[in-house]
């Protein structure tokens, strides 16, 4: 059996197997993973023809902003291929009050690829790349 989810605002829809051991992750209010959508996913028993299959963990990861598993696979060669020759469209920066420093959260390239950064004891860490 399948459990279907549909966004109340946009056209995002998904289904998961009801035997998925992590089904409990999808209880309560689930944020729609579509970019620029503020809707929530609603569970429905009605079959949705265009729904895409996800594991419960993958759908939960998307809904909390962690992205797809393949987005977080960033070896050096892949990152260099993405960044070399790329044109920067936008940089999300947070200025630290009272300091002469700032934090870069992400860099959006001209092809709408977004490189997400975090800090680590070794320097900036690329933790995912989304398109």
pLDDT, residue 71, reads 66
Q: How far is Cα 64 from Cα 97, in angstroms, rounded to an integer? A: 28
Is the pLDDT score of 65 beyond 90?
A: no
pLDDT, residue 121, reads 86
Is the pLDDT score of 9 beyond 90?
A: yes
- Token pair, residue 69, equals 């598993």
**Structure confidence by residue, pLDDT tens digits, 17-41:** 989 888 888 888 899 988 789 999 9
Is the pLDDT score of 129 beyond 90?
A: no
pLDDT, residue 51, reads 93
pTM of the model: 0.57
Which is it for the CA torsion 31, 54, 36, 73, positive or negative?
positive
Please give the average per-residue pLDDT across 45-54, as a whole number: 90
Q: Measured between alpha carbons, how far is residue 103 from residues 15, 32, 93 in Å?
A: 38, 27, 6
pLDDT, residue 111, reads 94
**Structure confidence by residue, pLDDT tens digits, 85-104:** 999 999 999 988 888 888 89
Identify the weakest region by mean pLDDT among 35-39, 59-63, 69-73.
69-73
- pLDDT mean across residues, the chain: 88
Is the pLDDT score of 70 beyond 80?
A: no
């Amino acid at each position: 059996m399948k459990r279907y989810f549909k966004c109340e605002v946009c056209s995002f829809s998904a289904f998961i197997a009801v035997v998925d051991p992590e089904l409990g992750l999808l209880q309560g209010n689930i944020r729609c993973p579509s970019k620029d959508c503020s809707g929530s996913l609603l569970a429905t028993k009605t079959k949705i023809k265009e729904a895409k299959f996800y594991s419960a963990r993958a759908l939960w990861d998307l809904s909390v902003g962690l992205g797809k598993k393949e987005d977080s696979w960033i070896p050096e060669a892949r990152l260099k291929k993405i960044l070399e020759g790329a044109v920067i469209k936008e940089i999300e920066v947070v200025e630290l009050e009272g300091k002469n420093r700032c934090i870069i959260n992400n860099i959006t390239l001209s092809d709408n690829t977004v490189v997400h950064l975090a800090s680590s004891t070794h320097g900036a860490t690329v933790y995912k790349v989304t398109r």
